[in-house]
């Protein structure tokens, strides 16, 4: 899985549209399990879950 190393870590994700998400990675999905054929990260931010697909993500940074 492309994003497995980020699972359960606090990350900052920058998307192509300029949105920035910062939170704990809840789940990661392989393209084999996704109907859109994309890897994805589900991140929890402010008690909300956001699913971000690899074609939307510019960068992922692990925060300490």
The per-residue pLDDT string of the chain (64 residues; one tens digit each, 9 = 90 and over) reads: 689 999 999 999 999 999 999 999 999 988 776 666 788 999 999 999 999 999 999 999 999 8
CA distance 38 to 52: 10
Which sequence spans correspond to the domains of the chain? Answer: 4-62
Maximum distance among all alpha carbons in the chain? 33
Contact 25, 11 (CB under 8 A): yes
Q: What topology does CATH give the domain 4-62?
A: SH3 type barrels. (2.30.30)
Q: What is the DSSP letter of 9?
A: S
pTM to 2 decimals?
0.87
Place of tokens 């929890």: 44
């Amino acid at each position: 899985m492309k994003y497995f190393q980020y699972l359960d870590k606090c990350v900052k994700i920058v998307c192509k549209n300029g949105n920035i998400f910062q939170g704990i990675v809840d789940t990661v999905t392989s393209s084999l399990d996704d109907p859109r054929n994309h890897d994805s990260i589900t991140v929890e931010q402010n008690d909300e879950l956001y699913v971000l697909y690899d074609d939307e993500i510019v960068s992922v940074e692990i925060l300490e």
